Structures are given as C-alpha cells and as structure tokens.
Amino acid sequence: MPACTQGDPAVRLISVIIDTYNYGRFIEKAIDSVINQDFPENDFEIIVVDDGSMDGTQKIVRKYKDKIKYIYKENAGQASAFNAGFENAHGRIIVFLDSDDYYQPNKLERIAKEFQACESIDVVYHCLSLVDKDYRIIGEWPDRKIEIEKHPLKSYLSGKTPFAFPTPSICVRADCLKKIMPIPEGFNITADSYIIYSLPFVAREFALINEKLANLMVHDSSYWSARGLTAQILAERIRKHELNTEYVQKWVKKLGLDFRLLKIELETVAAGNEILFLNLCGKKIRAIQKALYFKGAGSKGGILYRIFQKISMFFLAIIPHPSYLRLSKIYKNSFLFRIVHYFLLHER
C-alpha cells in the first residue's frame, strides 16, 4: 500500500472500501451514502471493488466517474475484494461497506473525531440499525448494551472471544490493518470475522461509539437472511470458525502467547455450532447426545461454570433456534443475567 505521508496529494484521511457482487439493485444507495457524507470530500476516497458482477453493476457504477475508484476483478470472494481495495487505498483510516448496506450522513465525521481524540486508538466500532429490503428499520445491532475493552488481548487469551461487529461497523488505522493483511482467501464470505478475530493481536487500543452510524440490510440473499439461520448458513459459519481458529493459533504461536484458555473457548463455540447444526437438520436425538457428552470448560471455570455451559448446550439441542434467540435476548437483558455472571466470574 502507498505510504501515507502528508506531502502526498493522493493521501486521504479515510478510505471507504465497498465490496460488491451482483448487487446492482443496492449499490447506488451504498455509494450515495458515502458521497453525501457531512465530511470534506477531499478527506476521503471511495473504492468500489466489483468481484466479477454479471448483473449490470458495471454500468451503474461507472456513471459515478471520478467520484469513486472502480476496480473490476474476477470473482474470488469477499476476502479477495477487501484485499484488492486495501492494496489501492491511500487513507490513514480504512472503513468497510458491503454494497447492500449504507452509512448515516455523520458516519465519517464521528469516527474521524474518535480516532483523532486519541492517537493510540487503532480500532473503532459503532452500533448499527438493521433494515429490510425496503429500508425500513427492523432492529439494531447489538441488540443489548455491551462494552468494548480498550486493551482486550488479556481477556481474549483468557477465553473471551471478540464481539462480532459486522462489516459496516469496522474502522481501522491503515498501519494497524496492514499487519493482518492480506485476508486469507478462504474467507470468501464473512471476511470481517477474520479481521475481528485477528485485530486484538496487533491493535493498541479499541473504542466503541454507541451510536447507529450505519444500516445493515437483512434480506433473503444476504448472510443475515431474513429467513433466519439455516443449516446451510450454519455449515458455512462452522467452516469459517475452523479457519479463524487456525489463524488465531498462528498468531498465538508467532507471538509466543498462552493459548490454553482461548483454545477451550473456541472448542466450546465449535461444539455449540455442531449441536445447533444437528438441531437445525432435525437430528435432535444426536444433538442431545452431543450435549450430554459435552465435557464443559475444563480448567477454564469452576463447577458452576461447567453446569451453566451444559444447560446452554441442552437448550441449543432441543429448542427451535428462533425461540432460543428470543429467550437468550430476554435473559441477557435481565437482572438474572448479571447475578449469574457475577457468581461465574468470581468462581473462576
């Protein structure tokens, strides 16, 4: 990537990388939401990476002419598109946008202020509104109040995996992002998960803006399908979790860190995914058997923690997933959640 120096006229404060593939019906909304930012146009650039669209996206995008940098490439997946965008970026801050999502007008201004407030902040996340294909708000992400640790690596290694912020919420200093690039092309979708799992190993400080600065669309052809989680989507999620585990192990080995507790947590996530997959496939007896033989957190937690995990696995095995999500949301927003996790935390 070109060096970011004040004397280079090509340098921008922010590079917006928009990846697209056969989303011509949405791409204008995404691009326009960046062009119409309440932010000086000379301080940001828009890079649209078309991953081999065949639906007329080229014709739609080319009308923007010099307002954007348009890159058309052979289809190779989301990671490949992000990599191509990053290689052509001149910004000191990199932000991402899937072409079916769009920004609020103050997005770039708010995240720029957050980065400028503290030089050691390498990563900024923010909240999102969920919208349907008609751009009506149907929810928010996250759906509960959360906190982001400034220095998460210690708790990460103790088994607390990063919160999964979607693509339009990820904002990273280019110098930091460069340390984990290129994204392995096995992440043909959900390349954002690789970024999220890798950043704690290289970033100095994290920050969260508790404002909805972008909109994530939920529709039938998106990963966030309006039809809900299916066995096919979960199978892809399982494959990506295996890949992320592989690359996390590489980071831990490279940096000489203790992987034992994080490994237990990643294995627990994998077990939960497998049990849920069996449930979604209608194989409840096998799901229950897997939950029954789940060994729990081992040395990571005490007896209460292992019991809590066991109960969670049984719920995954026997309750329909939409009902499980509703119950989980109610529980996480309840006073009971705080009491249980207080005792679990102090038991460890």
Q: Give per-residue pLDDT as tens, 210-224.
A: 999 999 999 876 665
- 3-class SS string, 218-239: CCCCCCCCCCCCCHHHHHHHHH
Q: Are strands 12-20 and 91-98 parallel, antiparallel or unpaired?
A: parallel
- Cis peptide upstream of residue 142 (ω within 30 degrees of 0): yes
End-to-end CA distance of the chain: 45
Strands (E), 63-150: 69-72, 91-98, 102-103, 121-131, 137-141
Which percentage of the chain shows pLDDT scores above 70?
86
What is the C-alpha to C-alpha distance for residues 293 and 290, in angstroms, rounded to an integer? 5
- Mapped onto helix, strand or coil, the DSSP state of residue 87 is helix
Residue 290 in this model has a pLDDT that exceeds 50: yes
The residue-averaged pLDDT of 150-157 equals 95
Residue 81 in this model has a pLDDT that exceeds 60: yes
Residue 2 in this model has a pLDDT that exceeds 50: no
Residue 287 in this model has a pLDDT that exceeds 60: yes
Residue 4 in this model has a pLDDT that exceeds 60: no
Q: List domains and CATH numbers for the chain.
A: 12-217 (3.90.550.10), 231-347 (no CATH)
Position 159 scores a pLDDT of 87
Phi first, then psi, for residue 4 (nearest 5°) are -90, 100
The residue-averaged pLDDT of 153-165 equals 92
Q: Which of 46-60, 138-152, 316-330 has the lowest mean pLDDT?
A: 316-330
Confidence of residue 307 (pLDDT cuts 50, 70, 90): confident
The residue-averaged pLDDT of 9-23 equals 89
Confidence of residue 5 (pLDDT cuts 50, 70, 90): very low
Residue 143 in this model has a pLDDT that exceeds 90: no
The residue-averaged pLDDT of 292-303 equals 67
Residue 38 in this model has a pLDDT that exceeds 80: yes
Residue range 119-133, pLDDT digits in tens = 999 999 999 999 998
Mean pLDDT of the chain: 89
- Cis peptide upstream of residue 182 (ω within 30 degrees of 0): yes
Residue of 176, 70, 85, 61 lying closest to 122 (CA atoms): 176
What is the C-alpha to C-alpha distance for residues 111 and 156, in angstroms, rounded to an integer? 24
Residue 305 in this model has a pLDDT that exceeds 80: no
Residue 3 in this model has a pLDDT that exceeds 50: no
Position 195 scores a pLDDT of 98
Confidence of residue 55 (pLDDT cuts 50, 70, 90): very high
Residue of 286, 274, 276, 271 lying closest to 320 (CA atoms): 276
The residue-averaged pLDDT of 82-90 equals 98
Position 6 scores a pLDDT of 40
Residue 66 in this model has a pLDDT that exceeds 90: yes
Confidence of residue 298 (pLDDT cuts 50, 70, 90): very low
Position 230 scores a pLDDT of 82
